Amino acid sequence: MRLSRIILSLVALVAMCATPLSAQSPIDMAVRISDDTATQLGENNTTLLRNKLSKIITRNGLADSEGFFALEPSIAIIDDGIADTGMAKIRVITAELTLAVKNIVDGTIFESQTIELKGNGNSDEACWRALINKLNINDARFAKMFDNARTSINDFYERHMPNLMRRIETLITSENYDEALAALTLIPDTVDQYAEVCAKKIEVYNRILEVETRRIIASADNFIRQGRIDDALEACRNANVLSPNYDDVVSFLKRLDAEAAAAEAAHLEQQQREADAAKSSEKMVESANCKAETIKNEIVNSYQEKEKEEKKSRKSLGQILFGL
């Protein structure tokens, strides 16, 4: 989680929970096209249909986004023939397009609408393309379908909210915070318990921040043991100031600062000791040199005095011969 993004996310979350229900986000609904239908239409026409259905969803006040609900199309051919235009023969397909609003968890269909469409062309792909192009995104039948679907979805949540909240509490207890937050995010803002849902979102988000903060501190502490001070400081900068346990980061940084100061003081003291030791060593060497010089001089003087004494006591040849 990067700091600025996390802060913005939490601000958005709080703002959303404080917004009146009438101004809050629409129900999330995604387009889901089955493999069978995609194979029937081909890749290009599947993309064309998906884009049309996405516009129908947003035009009718829902959010084209992944959630518990989806708009799922199915196509049934009711007539497939050849038309002679006089100049060429073309294929004509008449099909029923059924759009169903479904719960993707259990497959429950809340509402559906079937319309008949016709397309022609000189190939399968051309026929399906012409048929999909005739799908009117402003068709009033779709608006009615989604109105009925909203009512059914709201009823669904009102009935299942106790079970959903129990499931979310289980996820929180087992520390599956990301899953719990995802489940809370999917609950539409039209339910009576939406204030409770918002409060629970903030609670779970705080727990996510606490876990992330503890991870950051552990990582920074590991960097310190490796002597990587700059990496430890960088890790702490990524901590979210809105986290309930951000004070732990502050305490860690204070401890790090105190340890750094103590280490610096110890280093300076060691340097002083080494300097004092060097000076003492120099003095000892100087003193030893002086002592050695003194001893040497004493020895020299001693020998000189001894030599003088020996000269005085030594008799000359004349003294020995003549008794002089």
The answer to the question of residue 2 being in a domain is no
pLDDT for 6: 42
Range of lowest pLDDT (15-19, 81-85, 172-176): 15-19
Write down which residue in 133, 165, 197 finishes a domain: 165
Query: Both 38 and 147 in a single domain?
Result: yes
Domain final residue pick, 138, 165, 192: 165
Residue 217 lies in a domain: no
Give dist(CA 158, CA 229) in Å, integer: 53
Residues 286 and 157 in one domain: no
Task: Decide if 56 is inside a domain.
Answer: yes
| Interacting residues of 64 by C-beta distance below 8 A, sequence separation 6+ | 29, 30, 31, 54, 57, 58
pLDDT digits (tens, 9 = 90+) for 268-296: 556 666 666 666 666 665 665 566 566 55
Asked if 37 and 161 sit in the same domain, the reply is yes
Contact between 240 and 212 (Cβ < 8 Å): yes
**CB of 165 within 8 A of CB of 191?**
no
Among candidate residues 96, 131, 165, the one where a domain is terminated: 165
If asked whether residues 159 and 272 sit together in one domain, one would say no
Q: Are residues 30 and 161 in the same domain?
A: yes
Answer whether 101's CB lies under 8 Å from 71's CB. yes
75: domain CATH number? 3.30.160
Helix (H, G, I), strand (E, B) or coil at 101: strand
Position 116, amino acid: E
Its domain, for residue 42, covers 25-165
How many domains does the chain fold into? 2
In a domain, 6, yes or no: no
Domain contains 200? no
> For strand 28-31 and strand 69-84, is the pairing parallel, antiparallel, or unpaired?
parallel
Cα separation, 110 vs 143, in Å, equals 14
CA separation for the pair 218, 236 (Å, rounded): 10
196-254 pLDDT, tens per residue? Answer: 888 888 888 889 889 999 999 999 889 888 888 888 888 888 888 888 888 898 888 88
Is residue 1 a part of any domain in this protein?
A: no
- Please report whether residue 9 resides in a domain: no
The rounded distance, in Å, linking the Cα atoms of 20 and 190 is 10
The model's pLDDT over 132-168, given as tens digits with 9 standing for 90+, comes to 999 999 999 999 999 999 888 888 888 888 888 899 8
